[in-house]
Amino acid sequence: MNSETKFLLPEDRIPRAWYNIISDLPEPPAPVLHPGTGQPIGPDDLAPLFPMALIGQEVSAEREIEIPEPVRDVYRLWRPAPLYRARRLEQVLDTPAHIYYKYEGVSPSGSHKPNTAVAQAFYNKEEGTKRLVTETGAGQWGSSLAFAGNLFGLDIDVYMVRISFDQKPYRRAAMETYGARCVASPSEETESGRAILAEKPDSTGSLGIAISEAVEIAAQNDDAKYALGSVLNHVLLHQTVIGLEAMEQMEMAGEDPDIVIGCAGGGSNFAGLAFPFLGQQLRGGRTRRAIAVEPMSCPTMTKGTYAYDFGDTAHLTPLVKMHTLGSGFVPPGFHAGGLRYHGMSPLVSALVDSGLVEAQAFLQTECFAAGVQFARAEGIIPAPESTHAVKAAINEAERCKEEGTKRTILFNLSGHGHFDMQAYTDYFAGKLTDQPHDESAMREALEKLPEVAAE
Amino acid sequence: MNSETKFLLPEDRIPRAWYNIISDLPEPPAPVLHPGTGQPIGPDDLAPLFPMALIGQEVSAEREIEIPEPVRDVYRLWRPAPLYRARRLEQVLDTPAHIYYKYEGVSPSGSHKPNTAVAQAFYNKEEGTKRLVTETGAGQWGSSLAFAGNLFGLDIDVYMVRISFDQKPYRRAAMETYGARCVASPSEETESGRAILAEKPDSTGSLGIAISEAVEIAAQNDDAKYALGSVLNHVLLHQTVIGLEAMEQMEMAGEDPDIVIGCAGGGSNFAGLAFPFLGQQLRGGRTRRAIAVEPMSCPTMTKGTYAYDFGDTAHLTPLVKMHTLGSGFVPPGFHAGGLRYHGMSPLVSALVDSGLVEAQAFLQTECFAAGVQFARAEGIIPAPESTHAVKAAINEAERCKEEGTKRTILFNLSGHGHFDMQAYTDYFAGKLTDQPHDESAMREALEKLPEVAAE
């Protein structure tokens, strides 16, 4: 075992291929269905939205998909990302556990999102896209796509959930620094947006609405395509650079994780870290616990249904089989952080359903408490989303102490919280609560799941 | 020459000693004078404010001062910091210059400040200090001392310039995350503060006032000491880890900088990068240009006087010989970023006076324009302070293009701008201006320099 605090890889150890977990799954993923016919869709159905290279990756069964050199070249700006041993946190917790974290906050936009943003921008540029349209919540994804699009000479339009647009202008400023256009959603620019505004002029927006707006623009404009920051297979694929690097770094540290943890909104940062490890296991390697952590106020995996549902509010997207709270679900107003999506990546959902991935949910105040404890021990202030992974890791480390057992815990610190200090301010001021949960709203949204013929 | 984008050192290459430029100066620095007697002060005069170890470092003539292991151990959380070749910026500028930057934004608080905060917290803890008191402007320094103090179990009180306290709550939230107490300055907690408030109840504060408050508290409380984030010799000493690492990394890159650049408010990040290179030169090595860059709205080196002056507004500090705009100087209201101090480090001032260091001043709008150009090329959004170094580096690279000469330029990217996006928002909205400069206010402050007997 190594005495270092952080484990760094040289640039030539940036992975040369992404890892595709579909290749190792015992059965193929449930098909994606056409919203009109209920029948499985083909590449042509997706062509208005995505470049063919990404559609190919979405359905590929190859284990390794080569990372193009221009993408690796941009990755060099921050990758390989460091892996840390949380020695000071271990001391504070007085635990026999060894805690490691992969730190993705070193990227230009401060989170893991550029791993896929750069790849998506590259393939779009290759296939002649002029403009990429997307949605964003608090802005982690929007600022990352703005960064990536700028490097490849694409125009970037971001539909940003209005409440974040108004209350969290800092990531918007980052998007504009990178040259992107940022529009509050719902907007007057789309049919979907106008329909929402007609019904509710003071709508504060949701991710589902912003997705509808972005998809609509992409579908109607030949030179525009759509980009999604999580959920889809190709997005999770691109994030596997996290886990591939972490495997090599854990070897440098002379350890092998017993537990792998990531927070999960759409599932991409969790999958990015966990899939390479789960792939080993699926190919006959050792069994590890993989924990996907979500907020109790958007409990997709722990309280949702595993069923076909739409990805957006206006029902413009195909139907995917996933854990969902219903496409009309909006997290309660007291929920401060990200991880607000009504659904979950189909791949992560299938693994949760099969028992290979464990889902846990925590209250936001206990996550912030864990984030503060982490910051005071390790120095880095976690993004509110990442505090969910921190909370789960601390829980497991405390369990090790109770049981007197040494386990090796690895979690993904998916981003720093420097853009999110208002949430910490609110937490310290006692303004963050965990109530009231509106169980009836959740049930109502769940009752509206589409009926699907093909199942 | 190396084809890498970034140059990383392993943890065991964190420097084992700081570099003390005083050892290589042709003559000793001008003495620090007692504000009452005008005579040189001794260690006892400083003992109420600083632990003896730091007072010793302040006057040491040793070339190398060992970095204590507990300090190096905290440095491991982010050091060695990466050195980057700005290949994409070079392409955009179409310059034959090679541009490198040392990136200090990877520290927990996002700037170079923890390099000295950790050392100061360590020595204070060693000598029994319970509470460290300091001032901060926008909060780079305050959040760094909060981070460091927490790790060594010290209480941290930060007097924060009121206008930043009110308008920039995000670094305040970071201080509180690390467990520090943050007070708007001028405050009712000190005589200095009450005197200012009696005269001007709506005072928005200044660094000089906040220093007076912090010094007063430290002087009056046996268990409290004072910490300063720049200016003093020992602070610059601690920052030399930047340049020592950079020298080794430039060797990895197979290049040697012709020009070394840093922004300068009190002078510590500039000195941290430049002093190890200047030391080589002072010992007979090759001549390089070293450029310290300041804002035109606080033009200490380019328009100030090199004379004895107080470090604070209430004249509680000793007198030091430095470039100064007068201790009553407050930067004009339109100035958005940091680098607001009325004085300059005595060591940097002496080197500017002797011609070994070149001073340049730029308008804030041209600095933000350079910052945006850099962000779009390299991904990292610079702190407003750091954009001054970016601007100077781009200028030199453009000069290389005009002259058709290849030069190697190295600058210090002292911090990221994720806490400062409001300033970028204001810049894009056209709210940042470079006018009006109040020349008469500057002259007035300069006329009030103290008369000093010992000169």
Please choose, from the candidates A49, A202, A51, A178, the residue with its C-alpha nearest in 3D space to the C-alpha of residue A113: A178
Taking only the tens place, the pLDDT of each residue in A377-411 is: 999 999 999 999 999 999 999 999 999 999 999 99
Q: With respect to residue B150, please indicate whether it lies within any of the assigned structural domains.
A: no
Q: How confident is the model at residue B56 (pLDDT cuts 50, 70, 90)?
A: very high
Mean pLDDT of B401-408: 98
Min Cα separation A98/chain B (Å): 16
ipTM: 0.93
**pTM for the complete prediction?**
0.95
B425 contacts on A by Cβ (under 8 Å): 169-170, 172-173, 176
Mutation for testing the B interface, residue in A167, A418, A432 having most B CBs under 10 Å:
A418
**Looking at the partner chain, which of B170, B422, B424 has a beta carbon nearest the beta carbon of A421?**
B170
CB-CB neighbors (< 8 A) of B179 in chain A? 376
Q: Do A379 and B108 touch (CB under 8 A)?
A: yes
Rounded to a whole number, what is the distance in Å from the CA of A165 to chain B's nearest CA?
13
The partner residue sitting opposite A379, judged by closest CB among B147, B176, B424, is B147
The confidence band for B454, taking pLDDT boundaries of 50, 70 and 90, is very low
Q: Which residue of A has its CA nearest to B153?
A: A376
Asked if the structure places residue A150 within a domain, the reply is: no
Does the distance separating the beta carbons of A422 and B173 come in below 8 Å? yes
Q: How close is the nearest chain B Cα to the Cα of A444, in Å?
A: 38
Phi, psi for A25 (deg, rounded to 5): -75, 145
pLDDT of residue B455: 46
Q: Per-residue pLDDT for B438 more than 80?
A: no
Preceding amide of A48 cis, omega within 30: no
What is the mean predicted confidence (pLDDT) over B101-124?
A: 97
Secondary structure element (H or E) that encloses residue B360, with its range = strand B358-362
- Res A253 pLDDT > 90: yes
What is the average pLDDT across A150-174? 92
Q: Is A26 exposed, middle or buried (0-12, 13-18, 19+ CB in 10 A)?
A: exposed
**The pLDDT of residue A35:** 87
Q: Are A272 and A243 in contact (CB under 8 A)?
A: yes
User: What's the average model confidence in pLDDT over A6-24?
Assistant: 96
Across the range A400-427, mean pLDDT stands at 96
* Average pLDDT value for chain B: 94
Which CATH number belongs to the domain containing residue A305 in this structure?
3.40.50.1100
Q: Which residues of B touch A (CB under 8 A)?
A: 4-6, 8, 10-11, 73, 76-78, 84, 88, 106-110, 147, 150-151, 169-174, 176-179, 372, 375-376, 378-381, 416, 418-419, 421-422, 424-425, 428
Answer yes or no: is A177 within a domain.
no
- What percentage of chain B exceeds 90 in pLDDT? 84
Beta carbons of A421 and B380 less than 8 Å apart: no
Q: Compute the count of residue pairs across chains A and B with CB atoms less than 8 Å apart.
A: 127
- Probe site for chain A from B11, B421, B425, B426 (most A CB atoms < 10 A): B421
* Subunit contact B376:A179, Cβ cutoff 8 A: yes
> Residues of B with CB below 8 A from A252's CB?
none
Residues B407-427 have a mean pLDDT of 95
Which residues in chain B have Cβ-Cβ distances shorter than 8 Å to A147? Answer: 379
- Nearest CA-CA distance, residue A341 and chain B, Å: 25
- For residue A1, the model assigns a pLDDT of 58
Indicate if the pLDDT at residue A419 is higher than 50: yes
Query: Mean pLDDT across the stretch B199-207?
Result: 91
Query: Å from B374 to nearest chain A CA?
Result: 10
Query: What is the pLDDT confidence band of residue B1, given thresholds at 50, 70 and 90?
Result: low
Domain of A96? Answer: 3-13+68-110+234-446
**Confidence band of A455 (pLDDT split at 50, 70, 90):** very low
Q: What is the pLDDT of residues B311-333, one digit of tens each?
A: 988 898 899 999 999 998 888 87
The number of distinct structural domains making up chain B is: 1
pLDDT in tens, B117-176: 999 999 999 999 999 999 998 899 999 999 999 999 999 999 999 988 988 888 899 999
- Res. A94: pLDDT tops 90: yes
Neighbours of B298 (CB within 10 A): 26
* Nearest chain A residue (CA) to B10: A8
Q: Quick one: pLDDT at residue B367? A: 97
Q: What average pLDDT does the segment B381-391 reach?
A: 97
Interface touch A416/B421, C-beta < 8 Å? no
Residue (of B230, B442, B223) closest to B326 by Cα position: B442
Please tell me which of the candidates A76, A179, A380 has its beta carbon nearest to residue B5: A76
Nearest-CB residue to A173 (from B108, B379, B425):
B425
Q: Flag whether A252 is in a domain.
A: yes
Nearest CB partner across the interface for A177, out of B109, B150, B381: B381
CA distance A7 to chain B (A): 8
Judge: A418–B422 Cβ closer than 8 Å, yes or no.
no
State phi, psi for A331 to the nearest 5 degrees.
Answer: -60, 150
Q: Which residues of B touch A78 (CB under 8 A)?
A: 379
**pLDDT per residue as tens digits for the range A333-380:** 788 778 889 999 999 999 999 999 999 999 999 999 999 999 999 999
What is the arithmetic mean of pLDDT over B66-91?
97
Using CB atoms within 10 A of its CB, is residue B24 exposed (0-12), middle (13-18) or buried (19+)?
middle
Which residue of B lies nearest to A75 if distances are taken between CA atoms? B5
Q: Chain A residues within 8 A (CB-CB) of chain B?
A: 4-6, 8, 10-11, 73, 76-78, 84, 88, 106-110, 147, 150-151, 169-174, 176-179, 372, 375-376, 378-381, 416, 418-419, 421-422, 424-425, 428
Strands, DSSP E only, in B1-151? 6-7, 17-19, 64-66, 83-85, 98-103, 131-136
Q: Closest residue of B to A372, CA-based?
A: B177
Task: Report chain B residues whose CB lies below 8 A from the CB of A4.
Answer: 10-11, 76
Ranking A103-112, A175-184, B32-41, B279-288 by mean pLDDT, the lowest is: B32-41
Select the residue of A77, A375, A416 nearest B379 (Cβ to Cβ). Answer: A77
**Residue A145 covered by a domain:** no
- B335 pLDDT exceeds 90? no
* Distance to chain A for B376, nearest Cα, Å: 5
Best to test chain B binding among A178, A368, A421, A428 (most B CBs inside 10 Å):
A421
Residue A272 in domain: yes
Are B381 and A88 a contacting pair at CB < 8 A?
A: no
Gyration radius of chain B over CA positions? 20
Question: How far apart are the CA of B380 and the nearest CA of chain A, in angstroms?
Answer: 5
A439 belongs to a structural domain: yes
Of A4, A380, A425, the CB nearest to B173: A425
In a domain, A290, yes or no: yes
User: Per the CB < 8 Å rule, is A419 touching B421?
Assistant: yes
d(CA A125, CA A129): 5
Enumerate the residues of chain B whose CB falls inside 8 A of the CB of residue A164. none
